[in-house]
Structure 1
Amino acid sequence: MYSKLSAYCTSKKGAAQDYPFGPEPLVMKVGGKMFALLSEHGQQDTVNISLKCDPIIAENLREQHKCVVAGYHLNKKHWNTVIVDGSLPFADLQAMVDHSYDLVFRSLTKSERESITKNLRIK
């Protein structure tokens, strides 16, 4: 699931992988800002993904899903950590990644957003 999630995050326009904290977690950024952190733990290959989230939606997700908790080592108001245990369909995880990416992309300046979009058209 780790590789499937990292591939999905990387598919977002302008997304880049980074390891600013060492070998883990894998940090996904757009415009130099984090939108996802992926880590794999232990022999059972437990995967966690931390995602930025609108505070109201973040609370609702935590109430609805046992596998969604306040962001681990992140601002708990704006970040959730999802313990990928199979209880959420991959489509739901994709929707959460999309929401996180969109929040961060929209927070970029207009020129940064245009630069990312322009660079994609050139390639």
Structure 2
Amino acid sequence: MDFDWLRRACLALPGAYEDYPFGPETATFRVRIPERIAGPGAGKVFAFAGVDAVPPSVSLKCEPALVIPLRAAHPEITGAWHLDKKHWNGVRLDGALTAATVADLIEDSYDLVVASLPAAHRRALGWSGGDSPS
């Protein structure tokens, strides 16, 4: 797994896009939000990644109840640097975790973000994660 793999995995999700608000070294992956809700270019972040990090790594949102068990089971998963460690994990992509596991963690992060969007927007994204209240 490298940054290009990570980029493809994140951008494969409906409504996902990439931008660089913190400079060219940090990619931010977001779910697009309609302009009428949040203004032009707005989106909710589900992943941060260092473009040239060695080994590659990604910061992903996580259900708070799963943060500690994931970190205990996988040394490659730690508290995300500069983010709320109750809600964000840092995931080292050094090959110890399978691509399928990392893809699942990315999708889980995306699902947490999309679940917080209004129902109409979730439907517009074709999200099948459930219809939680908005």
With the shorter chain as reference, the TM-score category is 0.7 to 0.9
* 8 A Cα contact 1:38 1:48, kept in partner: yes
* 8 A Cα contact 1:48 1:84, kept in partner: yes
Please point out which of 73, 77, 91 is paired with 1:82.
91
Identity of aligned residues (%): 38
* 8 A Cα contact 2:3 2:51, kept in partner: yes
1:83 and 1:68 mapped to 2: Cα distance?
Answer: 6
SS at match of 2:56: strand
TM-score (norm 1): 0.87
User: Which deviates more, 1-10 or 32-41?
Assistant: 32-41
* 8 A Cα contact 1:40 1:46, kept in partner: no
Please point out which of 69, 81, 85 is paired with 1:60.
69
Structure 1 unaligned spans of 5+: 118-123
Matched positions, count: 115
Instruction: Provide runs of 4+ in structure 1 moved above 2 Å.
Output: 111-117
Name the structure with the higher helix share.
1
Name the structure 1 match of 2:59: 50
